[in-house]
């Protein structure tokens, strides 16, 4: 399991998200409270963010070190400001390499995506079925070996036909559910996506325990903003996302929740 974090609101220094909260993503990497598998998130991390003034492709910073060991991140996160960012600390599935190509978030054009969950026995269950569904372009973009990147590749293909992140996510989860049932395996897929203007996330699993996911809007610490996170970052009016649902946060911070 991993821990996810997403922010949409006025531009802020990234250290206010990553370091300042009492139960920050840094703390969640070594002392998570609600993980259903694993004890630590020490197998690398990644942060993706969008420029606060220019309409450019997003930026990413990744490392295979535990996030608490990266000596550059505290300084970088004080320098970088963004109004839309997502982050991930990784707990690698046994057998998966701790490698930069396996660190999240993944990027496709202006889309950033990260995944918390797993496909049970991935290499022997849905590895080939997913790859056989992919377009040649999506297939060739895969650089690592994780189930997470294969799910993201599937989503980018669905996005071409679906048009919106919400529809693409819904179709991706539908496909995963059908494949899991046919191949008698299970899928856990909390996904967090952004195009720089919105956040879209899912809380989803088939037979497995559904990973935790929360959202918070207009907290005094982060006014006029929405945060989506695997675990609450601090005491506040956090809302637990319903199981088997998609949550969408628009540019004006309106929140829509769709039951799957």
pLDDT tens-digit readout, 88-122? 999 987 767 889 999 999 999 999 999 999 999 99
Which backbone phi and psi does 251 adopt, to 5 degrees?
-60, -35
pLDDT of 245 over the 80 cut: yes
Q: Which residues contact 171 (CB under 8 A, 6 or more apart)?
A: 158, 161, 162
Each residue's pLDDT tens digit, 131-180: 999 999 999 999 999 999 999 999 999 998 898 999 999 999 999 999 99
Let me know: does 21 contact 214? Beta carbons within 8 Å: no
What is this structure's pTM? 0.96
Residue with tokens 């088939």: 206
> In which element (H, E) is residue 131 found?
helix 127-133
Closest to 201 (Cα-Cα) out of 230, 231, 161: 230
The C-alpha atoms of residue 5 and residue 196 are separated, in whole angstroms, by 14
Let me know: does 179 contact 130? Beta carbons within 8 Å: yes
For residue 92, give the 3-state DSSP assignment: coil
Let me know: does 193 contact 239? Beta carbons within 8 Å: no
Question: Is 103 a catalytic site residue?
Answer: no
Which of 2, 84, 103, 241 does the annotation list as catalytic?
2
Mean pLDDT of 28-42: 89
């Amino acid at each position: 399991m991993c821990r996810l974090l997403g922010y949409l609101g006025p531009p802020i220094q990234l250290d206010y998200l990553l370091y300042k909260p009492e139960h920050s993503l840094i703390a969640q990497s070594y002392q998570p409270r609600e993980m259903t598998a694993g004890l630590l998130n020490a197998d690398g991390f990644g942060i993706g963010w969008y420029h606060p003034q220019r309409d450019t492709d997003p930026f990413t910073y990744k490392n295979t070190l535990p996030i608490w060991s990266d000596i550059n991140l505290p300084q970088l996160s004080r320098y970088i400001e963004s109004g839309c960012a997502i982050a991930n600390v990784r707990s690698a599935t046994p057998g998966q390499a701790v490698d930069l190509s396996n660190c999240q978030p993944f990027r496709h054009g202006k889309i950033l995506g990260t995944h918390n969950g797993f496909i049970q026995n991935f290499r022997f269950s849905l590895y080939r079925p997913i790859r056989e569904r992919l377009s040649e372009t999506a297939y060739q973009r895969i650089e690592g070996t994780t189930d997470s990147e294969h799910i993201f590749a599937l989503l980018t293909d669905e996005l071409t036909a679906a048009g919106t992140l919400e529809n693409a996510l819904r179709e991706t989860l539908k496909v995963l559910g059908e494949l899991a049932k046919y191949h008698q395996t299970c899928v856990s897929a909390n996904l967090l996506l952004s195009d720089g203007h919105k956040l879209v996330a899912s809380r989803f699993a088939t037979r497995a325990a559904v990973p935790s996911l929360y959202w918070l809007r207009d907290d005094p610490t982060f006014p006029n903003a929405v945060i989506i996170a695997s675990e609450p970052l601090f005491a506040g009016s956090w809302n637990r996302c319903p199981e088997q649902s998609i949550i969408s946060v628009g540019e004006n911070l309106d929140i829509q929740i769709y039951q799957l």
